[in-house]
Amino acid sequence: MWYFYSPIVVFGEDALDHLETIEGKRCFIVTDPGIKSLGLLEILTRKLERLGRSWEVFSDVEPDPREETVYRAAEQCKKYNPDLIIGIGGGSSLDAAKGVWVLYEHPEFKSVDEIHPFQNLNTGKKARLIAIPTTSGTGAETTWAVVITRTKEGKTLKLEQGNKGVIPTYAVVDPVFTKGMPPGLTAGTGFDALAHSMECLISTWQNMFSDALAIGAIRLILEYLPLAVKDGDNMKAREALHNAASMGGLAFGNAQVTLGHAMAHALGAVFHIPHGTAVGLCLPYAMEYCIHDPESDSSIEKLALTAKSVGVAQWSDDNSGAAEKLVEKVKWLQKETGLPVSLQALDVSREDLDENLDTLITLCMESASTVMTPRNIGVSEFRKLFDYMYSGRKVDF
């Protein structure tokens, strides 16, 4: 028996118009300064004004939102007493909004530590949460994860909290917010969505529902990411990618990501490589490593099925060849969209890598994403993978 969790997803051009049908007079908006300065916040507030809703804005969310920021926003939210909370922005704003929602619903909670999977949060009693993504990547509008940064005794810690109660009530997936996004951000966020879909397909938690959405998302990303990178105003491509990111979010939210994300999180923590760039870089290495599993063909079978379903391979191809073609297609997409294919290309020096290798490996071994990896992996394998990744070598072990 398995469950599949999802918000109500409103998607397509003019999805924002659906706000009209969502009850709620007082809206508390959680966002970041960039969304405000880009005029994206105004698209939302203009709509709220037309609908006769009142609102208040907290726009201080920073990238990798800090715990204190979430508490500050929650205090403002409690004073305002809304019946709708709206998170608008990239993953950081949406994560912050989820945290605010829980703390507003539960004023007795002392910290975000209370957001863990082993209790019923029963959210939605005071307000409902609407998540409006402005990038096509994280899938945070659909997932039950909240990533909050804690600084303690000079150390920075990423708290990866999770509870089904933080899944937004509504995900409003309107491509208008992604129109004109610069090529680099489009590529990075697109690869994040691709990595979510690809990694959850081979996850030990994969299931038929997540598979269907993951394969659908991969098809859309392979077709439309190059188009959106070339022409940021191509709304057909924007809509396809925005939907694909939410589909990827639903898929990995219900099946988990694997070693690619474990390695990417470690690279992000040590070398401050943006998440999308890091997961994009790690993806083919993660796929190749799982394809070479000496104990099981499960990854080959899943990736081959995907390759054939999305038209990268023929149905008559043998599974190994088809899975290989999918890896090659991902590598092609990296080059096509200008994403780095090695650590060297990211200006990481050999000395820097060697100096930080033990830290990187420790972070990977501690990562929850490593647990769901289908092929056994340990210290020596991670060491080898980072070594291959340094020079862009094909994984052959």
Q: Rounded to the nearest whole angstrom, what is the least distance from the CB of residue 280 to Fe ion in the complex?
A: 10
**Spatial distance between the Cα atoms of 349 and 355, rounded to a whole number of angstroms:** 10
Region of 9-17, 188-196, 318-326, 374-382 interacting with Fe ion (CB under 5 A): 188-196
Size of the site for Fe ion (CB under 5 A): 1
Q: Rounded to the nearest whole angstrom, what is the least distance from the CB of residue 194 to Fe ion in the complex?
A: 10
Q: Rounded to the nearest whole angstrom, what is the least distance from the CB of residue 146 to Fe ion in the complex?
A: 14
* 192 neighbors 276 (Cβ within 8 angstroms): yes
Q: Rounded to the nearest whole angstrom, what is the least distance from the CB of residue 249 to Fe ion in the complex?
A: 9
SS3 assignment for 193-225? HHHHHHHHHHCCCCCHHHHHHHHHHHHHHHHHH
Of 67 and 192, which CB lies nearer to Fe ion in the complex structure?
Answer: 192
**Spatial distance between the Cα atoms of 57 and 41, rounded to a whole number of angstroms:** 9
Of 103 and 263, which CB lies nearer to Fe ion in the complex structure?
Answer: 263
DSSP string, 308-373: HHTTSS-TTS-HHHHHHHHHHHHHHHHHHTT---STGGGT--HHHHHHHHHHHHHHHHH-HHHHT-
Of 41 and 214, which CB lies nearer to Fe ion in the complex structure?
Answer: 214
Strand partners, 159: 148
Q: Rounded to the nearest whole angstrom, what is the least distance from the CB of residue 261 to Fe ion in the complex?
A: 6
Q: Which residue is nearest to Fe ion (CB)?
A: 192
Q: Rounded to the nearest whole angstrom, what is the least distance from the CB of residue 192 to Fe ion in the complex?
A: 4
Region of 18-26, 111-119, 185-193, 318-326 interacting with Fe ion (CB under 5 A): 185-193
Strand partners, 55: 27
Of 24 and 260, which CB lies nearer to Fe ion in the complex structure?
Answer: 260
User: Kind and range of the H or E element at 174?
Assistant: none
Region of 30-38, 164-172, 191-199, 314-322 interacting with Fe ion (CB under 5 A): 191-199
Q: Rounded to the nearest whole angstrom, what is the least distance from the CB of residue 212 to Fe ion in the complex?
A: 20
Region of 125-133, 184-192, 312-320, 385-393 interacting with Fe ion (CB under 5 A): 184-192
User: Kind and range of the H or E element at 35?
Assistant: helix 33-37
Of 319 and 373, which CB lies nearer to Fe ion in the complex structure?
Answer: 373
Of 278 and 313, which CB lies nearer to Fe ion in the complex structure?
Answer: 278
Q: Which of 174, 192, 199, 288 binds Fe ion (CB under 5 A)?
A: 192
Q: Rounded to the nearest whole angstrom, what is the least distance from the CB of residue 57 to Fe ion in the complex?
A: 27
DSSP string, 86-141: EEEESHHHHHHHHHHHHHHH-TT--SGGG--TTS---TTSS-EEEEEESSSS--TT
Region of 31-39, 192-200, 302-310, 347-355 interacting with Fe ion (CB under 5 A): 192-200
**Spatial distance between the Cα atoms of 375 and 202, rounded to a whole number of angstroms:** 9
Region of 78-86, 144-152, 190-198, 323-331 interacting with Fe ion (CB under 5 A): 190-198
Of 48 and 257, which CB lies nearer to Fe ion in the complex structure?
Answer: 257
Of 74 and 215, which CB lies nearer to Fe ion in the complex structure?
Answer: 215
Classify the phi-psi angles of 12: left when phi > 0, otherwise alpha if psi is within -120 to 50, otherwise beta: left
Of 192 and 239, which CB lies nearer to Fe ion in the complex structure?
Answer: 192
**Spatial distance between the Cα atoms of 286 and 55, rounded to a whole number of angstroms:** 44
141 binds Fe ion (CB under 5 A): no
Q: Rounded to the nearest whole angstrom, what is the least distance from the CB of residue 200 to Fe ion in the complex?
A: 11
Residues ≥6 apart with Cβ < 8 Å to 162: 115, 116, 117, 144, 145, 146
Nearest to 284 by CA among 137, 183, 385: 385
Residues that bind Fe ion (CB under 5 A): 192
